[in-house]
Structure 1
Amino acid sequence: MFDHIKFGVRDFALSRNFYLKALEPIGVTVVTDWPPNGAELSQPTGMSSLCLYQTEETPAHLHIAFVAESRHQADAFYRAALNAGGQDNGPPGQRPQYSGRYYAAYVLDPDGHNIEVVCHEIET
């Protein structure tokens, strides 16, 4: 749906570390670093990327949803994100209000952005 999302963060090193650890279960790594305080993150074969940069501005809160290939990946994201300093914003589980296949986990990143990993596959 999107090519990339770029947004500012208050503490670049903290946010870079958070996203790398939280999104490791779905294969996200650094594609490009933009010294001194910017980076582009993506999955190895990803068609879209997440770009972070240091700013003093107070950005509005975002809701970003990443695709997981399995419910296991959504569960792993949730654990990794909490271990990386994220705050719970909805534990892994089905969200029947969206669809019978919608399985998601939500955390707040260091800037309060709502980060979701969603799987649309039926549990096997």
Structure 2
Amino acid sequence: MAIDHVCISVPKSKHDEVVSFYLKSLAPLRYVEIMRFEGMVGLGADGVPDFWISAKEDANEKGQTHVAFTTKERALVQSFYEEALKAGATSNGPPGPRPHYTPTYYGAFVLDPVGNNVEAVCHCEAEAAK
């Protein structure tokens, strides 16, 4: 079963900063803003808002969510990581194989501006050298 959508809650005071962070970081994965409501922004690729960012008065200043975005190209994992760092993320694990998860697992991890653990992952064989 696939995940339909994920929503993270962030402090109202950091909502715009966090939305900007995700728009920049997820651009290599074709994520854009699709919907916006009072205190809620829905991002997604292919017209589907599957990642929501909610502004809450009582949200924890330190994120506690882990979300992994999938891609079919390892190069896009690298692009996500680079864009996330440029957008203000902190590295939580550079791009690379994670064979302790599965033999083809290739991922990168960052912490967003409020400390949520965000990952881009590719479940494919390494591309052949050209």
Q: Same fold (TM over 0.5)?
A: yes
Which residues of structure 1 form unaligned runs of 5+? none
Unaligned runs of 5+ in 2: none
Higher-strand-fraction structure? 2
Identity of aligned residues (%): 34
Alignment partner, residue 123 of structure 1? 126
Query: Deviations 1:31-60 (Å, cap 9, x if unpaired)?
Result: 10114x3200011155x6111121122346
**C-alpha displacement of 1:29:** 0.5
Give distance in 1, aligned partners of 2:24 and 2:97: 23
Q: Give structure 1 regions of 4+ aligned residues with deviation exceeding 3 angstroms.
A: none
Q: Which residue of 2 aligns with 1:44?
A: 46
Choose from 94, 108, 112 the match for 2:111.
Answer: 108
Number of residues of Structure 1 aligned to a counterpart in Structure 2: 122
TM-score, normalised to structure 2, is: 0.88
- CA RMSD after TM alignment: 1.4
Indicate yes or no: 2:9 matched with 1:8.
yes
Secondary structure of the residue aligned to 2:119 is strand
Greater Cα radius of gyration, structure 1 or 2:
2
Matches of 2:8 and 2:93, distance apart in 1:
23
What does 1:1-124 align with in structure 2 at a 5 Å threshold?
1-10=2-11, 11-35=14-38, 37-44=39-46, 46=48, 49-59=50-60, 61-124=64-127
Q: CA offsets per residue over residues 17-41 of structure 1, 9 Å max, x none? A: 0000000001001110114x32000
With the length of structure 1 as denominator, give the TM-score of the two structures. Answer: 0.92
Is the CA contact 1:29–1:44 (under 8 Å) kept in the aligned structure 2? no
